Amino acid sequence: MNHAVSGFSKLGKEEKIRLIAQTYFTDAEKAETLVKSYWNSDEKLQQLHDEFIENTITNFYLPLGIAPNFLINEKFYTVPMAVEESSVVAAAAKAAKFWSTRGGFKTTVVGTEKIGQVHFMFNGSHAKIQEFFNLIKPALFSDTESITKNMQQRGGGILDIELRDKTDLLENYFQLHATFETKDSMGANFINSCLEQFASTLKSKAQQHSLFSEQEKDIKVVMSILSNYVPNCVVRAEVSCPVADLKEKNIDDGKVFAENFVQAVNIAKVEPFRAVTHNKGIMNGIDAVVVATGNDFRAVEAGVHAYAAKDGRYTSLSDARIENGIFYFSVEVPLALGTVGGLTTLHPLVRFCHEVLEKPSAPELMQITAAVGLAQNFAALRSLTTTGIQQGHMKMHLNNIINQFNAAPAEREAITAHFKKNAVSHAAVVDFISELRKK
C-alpha cells in the first residue's frame, strides 16, 4: 500500500481483514484464514474482545502460566503470569520454592499515594498566584464533591492540592500538584476527572479575581493528567536466610555464592548498562503479573524506570547485603495497581487470575507482584553467578526451536534426548535436525 487509507475505521471487521490480506499478502486467503483462526468461537466473548480497543481484526494470544509456592507474609499464593518469554515462569516458580523453605517473602506497602497535575501558564508573579491559590483551594475541593463522593465512601479521595512554581524551568509555567488515595482501583479515570474540574475552577475563579489584571486573568491550562510516576505508591519485598542455608544443587558454598551475588547487585548499582538489564529481569516477573491481572504494564514500566533514576543516575532496583552471617535480598518499587474497574471486571481470564490469587486487595496485589519481581531477579542472578544464564534459558528455548522446524513427534523425542546431554544453541539444534532428517 503506497497511499493513505481513508475510512478504515468505518469498515466492518471482515472488510478490514480483507483489505489487509489483499494489500500485504500474496496469498490473501491464507492470511484471512490465519486471522480468523484466532477468533473466539463464542460470539459474545469475541465481541467483548473486539470492543476492548479500536480497529480490531483478531486476538493476539499470550501464554498464561502459573508459578506456585509463593510464601508471602506466611501465606501461600499461586501466581498467574502472562508472558511470551521462555524460562520466566519456570524461574519464578523455582525461586518461589527455594524461598518457601527459607522463611518466604516479607513484603510491606510503604505508601499508596497517586499523583495528578494541572499544567498551566500564568503571566504574573509567584506572590499573586500563590495568594489566589490560597483563596480558591477550598473551592477546588468543594467543586469535585460529586466526583469524589463514592471514592470517599471507600476511604479514598483527594489528599492534598498544592501550587508548584516551575518558572525556573519554563517561562510562566505553574502546576496544581494533587495527591490522591484511590483504594482498590488504579484510579486513572477518577484522578483525571478531578483534575479537569480543578482546571475549570482555576480558570473561572481567575476571571472573577479582582486583584488580577486582564492579562493575569487569562490563565492558560495546557493539560490536566495523572502522572504514572508514583514515588509514594511504593512496595518493598525482602528475603533473608543464614548464608549457610543458601547451599543447594548448584551452590556448593553458600558464603561464596552470597558474596558473588552481592557483588553482582553492586555492579548493577553503579553501572547503568548492567542496571537496565538487571531491572528488566525484575520486570519480567512484575509485568507478567500486571498483564495477567488486567493492569497497565506500560504505566508500571514507565514509573518503575523513572524511580530507578530518581537520584540522578539509573541504578538497580534491588539491594543485597550480608550482615552477621545473614544474606538479605530486597527490592523496592512503585506499583500503582488496581483490583476493581477496567479489565478486572470485563476480561474473563483476568477475573480468573484474580480468583486464583483469592481476590486480593490492591495493596495485597502490590505485595504479590513485588515478590514475583524479586523472585525473578534472584533466579537470574543465581544463574549468572553460578552456571551462567544461557544454560537454563536455552534448555527452555529448545521447544521454540523444535516448533520452528515443525518437528514430528519422533524427531521431537530424539532432539530432546540428545540435548539433555549436550549444550543447547540455535545452531547446534539446527545441525542436529538436519542430520536427523538426512538419516
Residues 182 and 296 in one domain: no
Residues 422 and 345 in one domain: no
Catalytic residue among 16, 94, 205, 393: 393
pLDDT in tens, 99-137: 999 999 999 999 999 999 999 999 999 999 999 999 999
**CATH code, 256:** 3.90.770.10
pLDDT in tens, 161-192: 999 999 999 999 999 999 999 999 999 999 99
Residue 60 lies in a domain: no
Residues 104 and 250 in one domain: yes
pLDDT for residue 27 is more than 90: yes
Residue 13 lies in a domain: yes
Gap between the Cα atoms of 110 and 385, Å rounded = 31
Other CB atoms within 10 A of residue 331 CB: 27
Residue 324 contacts by C-beta under 8 Å, 6 or more apart in sequence? none
Grid coordinates belonging to 35: 486471522
**Domain finish residue from 348, 372, 387:** 387
Residues 106 and 245 in one domain: yes
Residues 199 and 270 in one domain: no
Q: Per-residue pLDDT averaged across 209-218, rounded?
A: 94
Residues 262 and 322 in one domain: yes
Catalytic residue among 50, 85, 301, 411: 85
**Domain finish residue from 366, 387, 408:** 387
pLDDT for residue 392 is more than 70: no
Is 355 tagged catalytic? no
pLDDT for residue 402 is more than 90: no
Q: What is the pLDDT of residue 396?
A: 60
Q: What is the pLDDT of residue 388?
A: 61
Vertex 185 angle, CA 184 and 189, to 5°? 160
Confidence of residue 14 (pLDDT cuts 50, 70, 90): very high
Gap between the Cα atoms of 142 and 127, Å rounded = 24
Residue 311 lies in a domain: yes
**CATH code, 173:** 3.30.70.420
Is 397 tagged catalytic? no
Residues 86 and 34 in one domain: no
Q: What pTM did the predictor assign?
A: 0.88
DSSP 218-265: --EEEEEEEES--TTSEEEEEEEEEGGGG-BTTBS-HHHHHHHHHHHH
Higher pLDDT, 266 or 409: 266
How many domains are contained in the chain?
4
Classify 108 as helix, strand or coil. Answer: strand
Residue 264 lies in a domain: yes
Q: Per-residue pLDDT averaged across 42-58, rounded?
A: 95
Residue 208 lies in a domain: yes
Place of cell 468505518: 10
- How many whole angstroms from its chain centre is CA 338? 12
Amino acid at 121: M
Residues 304 and 360 in one domain: yes
Q: Are 123 and 215 in contact (CB under 8 A)?
A: yes
Gap between the Cα atoms of 70 and 104, Å rounded = 7
- How many whole angstroms from its chain centre is CA 124? 41
Is 97 tagged catalytic? no
Catalytic residue among 255, 280, 395, 418: 280
Residues 294 and 417 in one domain: no
Sheet of strand 173-181: strand arrangement: 157-165, 173-181, 114-121, 220-227
Confidence of residue 421 (pLDDT cuts 50, 70, 90): confident
Q: Count the residues in the chain.
A: 439
Residues 204 and 267 in one domain: no
pLDDT for residue 395 is more than 70: no
Whole domain around residue 38: which residue ranges?
8-50
Residue 2 lies in a domain: no
pLDDT for residue 7 is more than 90: yes
Residues 374 and 396 in one domain: no
Residue 57 lies in a domain: no
Q: Are 372 and 92 in contact (CB under 8 A)?
A: yes
Q: Per-residue pLDDT averaged across 220-226, rounded?
A: 98
Catalytic residue among 119, 296, 354, 397: 296
Q: What is the pLDDT of residue 390?
A: 52
Is 49 tagged catalytic? no
pLDDT in tens, 231-255: 999 999 999 999 999 988 778 899 9
Other CB atoms within 10 A of residue 2 CB: 4
Q: What is the pLDDT of residue 397?
A: 66
pLDDT in tens, 341-374: 888 889 999 999 999 999 999 999 999 999 999 9
Q: What is the pLDDT of residue 393?
A: 53
Residue 194 lies in a domain: yes
Confidence of residue 258 (pLDDT cuts 50, 70, 90): very high
Q: What is the pLDDT of residue 394?
A: 59
Residues 300 and 370 in one domain: yes
**Domain finish residue from 199, 227, 255:** 227
